[in-house]
Structure 1
Amino acid sequence: MVSSRTEHEDEREDRYEVGLGFALPKLQELLPTAGQIEQDETIQESVFYDTAERDLQRQHLTLQRRTGDIDTGWQLTVPADKTPTEIVVPSSDGDAVPDELASWVAGVALGNPMHPVTTLTTVRHTYLLLDADACLLAKITDDVVHGTVAGDGALATEWREVTVALGEAGGKKMRRAIGRSLTRGGGRPLQYPSKLARALADRHRGGEGRADGKRDPGGTDPSTSPTVRVVTDYLEAQVQAIVAGDVWLRRGLDAVHPTRVGIRRFRSTLRVFEKVLEPAARTTLDAELSWYAGLLGEVRDRQVQRARFTRAVAALPSELVMGPVAARIEEDLLAEQLHHLTDVRTVLDGERYRALLATLAQWRTAPPFTDDAAADPGVIRTALRRAERKALKRVAAAAKGADEEALHRARKAAKRARYAAELAEPVLGKKAKKKVARYKKMQEVLGEHQDSVVASGILRRLGARAGTTPGENGFTFGLLYGLELQAVRQARMDAARLM
């Protein structure tokens, strides 16, 4: 049985690193009158699996086999939209990665075999601080961790960390009191995002990069440039969406739309901020992302139109629906959708797609920035203004005529301006949010036009087929076609009012 859960960051949780000889404060003194403490001890072992090249780590996925507590079993953690999802699979016989898990990460692993790379053994002492009514004030976990990292000369480390999580009955006063007690004894905020990152820290400080996939600050590190940091963070979020989409698709889930959105945002950044990225690397990656987005687009277009036509047919008076209209639409478009989805799934195991994932992994750790990226602090504002001017110019020009291609180009320009404003939010703040809202509205209006244009073409094709098929009738398709033409005209008028 497979289960999934989403891990939300707990704002009521604090983590501290302490020395191995650290003495916990006298917790009883932190309790209110008649409060009590419940204690427990567990031993947990986590064995992390990866390829020899650490391909999962590069894409920020973790695959582990846990024993010793309630979370016993295989666990795959996939970051997505700042909210990691944990997929749990029951323990299997032997140490080999279960086939289903191996198939889900086959893309991220680039087809390479996986084996144990890090082992963490944790001795955990848990303290539940309860009030007089046995309501939870705080949960304190005191972990002594022994980590062994495989490689040329296995690296063994040992450390201790304390986590404080407030309960429903806890408050800021108790949180501050526990925090002061820990820091007075030598505790300091934990700087690593996970125990795995902490175990890998020493090896990565030797020159392989940070354990959490980010750069260490200082020196000549280009990430010290605000421009580089903002662009890198935005691109990182899009790669995260693309990689998560890969895993979801392999699990048989529908991840086409979020994956395409991640690709669109990434490609938009490559184009709008072209002066801060090396031309050859940027152009090559843009072409490969365009190729993959095109395959996904064939699936997504059918999804959108199926939903659109379902609503349209349902809105018609029953006497105007002649023949199996809804069945014809669903049968034809679903068959096409599944056909294109099969093409996508075939591509996922191909060398070209794996090369694309490998390139994205490289961009996560070392995007090919130009020297201008760090030297020009105003490059983000400049690029955004240029994207805005292009969008406004194209929308104004397209709204004056009936050129469908011009409206389509205007929509893409508005989309790029929106994404550029999203990227610029850390720099511009509220001004950027207003720009995002403006260009999102343009994108939606022009998107409605494009959807109507596509829909009218599909209806023309389906209507012609129905008109020559026994038991069917082309009348309703013609009626729907006429309604789409009205929608096209309305979208053009709406576009004109945007300016």
Structure 2
Amino acid sequence: MVSSQRERAVKYDLGLDVLLPDLGGLIPAGGRIESADANPSAVYYDTADRDLLRHHITLAHHTDGTDTGWQLTVPADKARTDIRMPSADRDAVPDELTTLVTGIALGEPLHRVATLSTTRRTHRLLDRDEHLLAEVADDLVHATVAGDAALVSEWREIDVELGDGVGRSLLTTVGTRFTRAGASPSTHTSTLDHAFAGDHTPTGVDFDSPAQEALTVYLDTQVQAIVAGDVWLRRGLDPIHSTRVGIRRFRSTLRVFKTLFDAEAATHLDAELSWYAGILGEVRDRQVQRTRFADAVAGLPTELVMGPVAARIETDLLAEQHRYRGHAMDALGSDRYRDLIAAVGRWRTAPPWATAATDSAVTKATRKAGRKANKRLTAAVADPDDAALHRARKAAKRARYAAELAAPILGKKKATKKAKKYKKIQKILGEHQDSVVAAQTLRTLGARAGATPGENGFAFGLLYALEQQAAQRARADAARLAH
């Protein structure tokens, strides 16, 4: 059986001969520290090209006394999720986990790439009620990397993990204490990444400027969302929205800062991301509309709901949602999708730069995105065509995302103010677009109901009129923002 959990942890590097700082001051009065020794080991699996590691994903069989089994770690949204499967067999990756990473592995087979043996001293920080505040693991790691000639290395690292419900401020306090003692935040994304560092594997990035770092880090964050979405989809979960947001932010970066990237590579990737986003969008539209229409029907007077309106909406849209989800799953198994994942993997650490990414270039592109959003909004509110407002909405999104990306360059306060402004525009224009699309769907459902014995389109007509009114209100709100 597979289980998963979210973790909030931070890792530090510490010299072999440096004493661990006193942890007593981190617990409240009446609390205590519980220490124990262990000797865990882990065998890691990846493709020959280390595709999992490229996406900061690790797959390993762990042996730790009472905790023996497989663990797949997937990072996303400044956190990570561990997917675990108990098993004593460490020589064959379970089919369930192989399936989850098949997209990230680009269809290539998995094999043993490294073995890590650890001498661990664990300190559990408990409050007076015996609730776990944090767990501090002091590890001496011995690593053997597989290859034509095995590479052996040894180092010390400190892993701090918060207990359930504990505020992240404790991590800051612990970090301050450790850095004063000589520790430094680990530059490696995982213990496995550290093991491969001596093998000259380019898992890190050296930045030429703060602007280049801001762009690369932003793109990497979006790739995390896309990659995590791949795994969650294969688990039968619902990452559609977060995956699409990651794609939108990535595409926005390609467009707003297009002069900084190789034009051919950026145009091709933009088209491929658009293709995949379109497939996911069909699923997401049905999800949103099912909830939207169910609430709308519930809000109508009972006497005006003639026929099985709610059942018609749920049955038709759910069937369409399942059909389009099937299309999404088919896409995950395609060569085109594997090529897309390989491409974003390359972009996350080494975007194809066309010119130097300077602070001034990022600032200039961000301001241009803002001016374009303002111009499109002004033109759209004077244009009766709904498509004009939709184009203005997309421009506002790009201006918002650009401001968020450029925060290290513009300054957090200024960037937040810009992002907030365009987020408000995006929200109002999004309400307009949702109503326009909803009205079109209701028209189709109403016509279908009107031609079916035992049903009629009356309630659908009412809902259609309500969506039109909502669209007009959103248009009026947008007009006020434009002045």
- The two structures have a TM-score, normalised by structure 2, of 0.90
Which SS does the other structure have where 1:203 is aligned?
coil
Residue 339 (structure 2) aligned to one of 331, 355, 372: 355
How far apart are 1:371 and its partner, in Å?
2.1
Contact 1:17/1:189 (8 A) holds in 2: no
Pair 1:137–1:283, CA change in 2 (3 A): closer
Q: C-alpha distance in 2, partners of 1:435/1:35?
A: 45
Q: C-alpha distance in 1, partners of 2:236/2:32?
A: 48
Match of residue 47 from structure 1: 43
1:441 matched to 2:431? The reply is no
Match of residue 275 from structure 2: 291
Residue 199 (structure 2) aligned to one of 186, 203, 224: 203
Match of residue 275 from structure 1: 259
Which SS does the other structure have where 2:79 is aligned?
coil
Contact 2:8/2:162 (8 A) holds in 1: no
Aligned length: 475
How far apart are 1:191 and its partner, in Å?
4.5
Deviations 1:271-304 (A, max 9, x none): 1101111100000000100111111111111111
Match of residue 78 from structure 2: 82
Match of residue 204 from structure 2: 214
Residue 468 (structure 1) aligned to one of 420, 440, 451: 451
What code does the residue aligned with 1:390 have?
A: K
Pair 1:365–1:138, CA change in 2 (3 A): closer
Match of residue 154 from structure 1: 150
Match of residue 109 from structure 2: 113
Match of residue 383 from structure 1: 365
Indicate the larger mover: 460-469 or 323-332: 460-469
Contact 1:414/1:439 (8 A) holds in 2: yes
Pair 1:151–1:446, CA change in 2 (3 A): same
How far apart are 1:69 and its partner, in Å?
3.5
Match of residue 5 from structure 1: 5
- The two structures have a TM-score, normalised by structure 1, of 0.87
How far apart are 1:40 and its partner, in Å?
2.8
1:226 matched to 2:222? The reply is no
Pair 1:402–1:134, CA change in 2 (3 A): closer
Match of residue 394 from structure 1: 376
Larger radius of gyration: 1
1:99 matched to 2:95? The reply is yes
What code does the residue aligned with 2:336 have?
A: R
How far apart are 1:160 and its partner, in Å?
3.3
Match of residue 284 from structure 2: 300
Residue 318 (structure 2) aligned to one of 329, 334, 357: 334
Match of residue 14 from structure 2: 17
Match of residue 417 from structure 1: 399
Contact 1:166/1:175 (8 A) holds in 2: no
Q: C-alpha distance in 2, partners of 1:118/1:147?
A: 7
How far apart are 1:466 and its partner, in Å?
1.1
Match of residue 241 from structure 1: 225
How far apart are 1:402 and its partner, in Å?
1.3
How far apart are 1:404 and its partner, in Å?
1.0
What code does the residue aligned with 1:280 have?
A: E
Pair 1:137–1:106, CA change in 2 (3 A): closer
1:316 matched to 2:316? The reply is no
How far apart are 1:152 and its partner, in Å?
2.4
Which SS does the other structure have where 1:254 is aligned?
coil
What code does the residue aligned with 1:214 have?
A: G
The percentage of counterpart residues that share the same residue type is: 57
How far apart are 1:36 and its partner, in Å?
8.6
Contact 2:7/2:161 (8 A) holds in 1: no
Pair 1:491–1:93, CA change in 2 (3 A): same
What code does the residue aligned with 2:56 have?
A: H
1:403 matched to 2:391? The reply is no
Which SS does the other structure have where 2:374 is aligned?
helix
How far apart are 1:147 and its partner, in Å?
0.5
Match of residue 220 from structure 1: none
Pair 1:126–1:386, CA change in 2 (3 A): closer
Indicate the larger mover: 355-364 or 159-168: 159-168
Q: C-alpha distance in 2, partners of 1:304/1:156?
A: 52
Deviations 1:74-103 (A, max 9, x none): 111101011111111111545111011000
Deviations 1:192-237 (A, max 9, x none): 4432222112112xxx31xxx322x4xxxxx121211111111111
- Cα RMSD, aligned residues only: 3.1
Which SS does the other structure have where 2:62 is aligned?
strand
How far apart are 1:431 and its partner, in Å?
1.1
What code does the residue aligned with 2:221 have?
A: A
Deviations 1:149-196 (A, max 9, x none): 01221101123345678999xx99x9699759955xxx7665544322
Q: C-alpha distance in 1, partners of 2:2/2:443?
A: 44
Which SS does the other structure have where 2:103 is aligned?
coil
Contact 1:322/1:476 (8 A) holds in 2: yes
Pair 1:312–1:278, CA change in 2 (3 A): same
Deviations 1:428-471 (A, max 9, x none): 22111111111111111111111111111111111111112111
Pair 1:330–1:95, CA change in 2 (3 A): same
How far apart are 1:136 and its partner, in Å?
8.6
Q: C-alpha distance in 2, partners of 1:29/1:237?
A: 36
Q: C-alpha distance in 2, partners of 1:230/1:45?
A: 36
Deviations 1:374-423 (A, max 9, x none): xx431111111111111111111111131111111111111111111111
Deviations 1:104-163 (A, max 9, x none): 000000001101101001122345689999999986644322110012211011233456
Indicate the larger mover: 286-295 or 456-465: 456-465
